[in-house]
Amino acid sequence: MSIEREKQVAAEAAADLVEDHMTVGLGTGTTVAFLLPALARRSLDIRCAATSPRTEHSARELGLRMEDLASIDRFDITIDGADQITPDGWLVKGGGGAHTREKILAAAADRFVVIADSSKPVEALHRWRGDRRLRGTGRRPGRPGRTVRRDARRGRARAVPAGHGGDGSRGPG
C-alpha cells in the first residue's frame, strides 16, 4: 500500500470516531488533509477548531462548521498527525507555526487521536529533520523537538521537551 493510501485509510478511520454534536480539534499536515473530506462526507453536526489557518480554510471550503479556538473550552476529540512515534507512545509534532495551537488542542481534548502512515514509527525520537527557522525566534524546529505525551493520571495530553518525561525525568530518545 502506498504512503498516500495509508494516510487516507488512517484519516478515514479517525473520521469514523467522530459522532454527531461533538467538538472536534483539527490538526495540520498531509494526513489531516485526508481527514477533512472524510469528515465532510459524513455530514455530521459538529463544531470544529483548527490548529492552522490552512486547515481552517480547507475545512470551511468543505462545509465543516469552524469556530474560533477561544470559543471552545473542551474538545471531545482532537485528531492530528505526527512526525515521529515511538513504540511507547511518545510523539514529535511538527516544528512549524501551528505548534502552539497543536499543543492547546491536544491538551483540551478528552481524546487525542494521532493519524500517521508507516513512515512515522521510530525506535527512538531524533531531531526533527526540518531546517526552517521558527518565526521570530531564530531557533530551528527540532532543537530539540517537542513531544505530546498522554498523562495517564490526568487523562490529558501535554507537550514536553523531546527526550524528557513530564516529571522532568529523561524519557525515550
pLDDT (tens digit per residue) in 123-144: 888 765 553 433 333 434 443 4
Which of 12, 19, 102, 123 is an active site residue?
102
The structural domains of the chain, ordered by start, are 3-161 (3.40.50.1360)
- Would you state the pLDDT for residue 98? 72
Confidence band (pLDDT; 50, 70, 90) for 33? very high
Which among 64-68, 87-91, 93-97, 128-132 has the top mean pLDDT?
A: 64-68
* Residue appearing with cell numbers 469528515: 39
Q: Where are the alpha helices (DSSP H) in 77-156?
A: 99-107
How confident is residue 97, by pLDDT bands cut at 50, 70 and 90? low
Mean pLDDT, rounded, for 87-110: 81
Q: How confident is the model at residue 99 (pLDDT cuts 50, 70, 90)?
A: confident
Q: What is the pLDDT of residue 38?
A: 97
| pLDDT at 153 > cutoff 60 | no
Confidence bin at 96 (pLDDT 50/70/90): low
pLDDT confidence bin for 59, thresholds 50/70/90: very high
Selection from 97, 157, 168 nearest residue 132 by Cα: 97
Active site residue 61: no
The chain-wide mean pLDDT, for the chain, equals: 78
Average pLDDT over residues 81-103: 80
Least confident among 21-35, 94-108, 111-125: 94-108
Report which of residues 114 and 151 the model is more confident about.
114
Taking residue 68's Cβ as centre, other Cβ atoms within 10 Å add up to 9
Highest-confidence range of 31-45, 76-90, 97-111, 123-137, by mean pLDDT? 31-45
The set of long-range contacts for 137-144, using a CB threshold of 8 Å and a minimum separation of 24, is 140/95, 141/94, 141/95, 141/96, 141/99, 142/92, 142/95
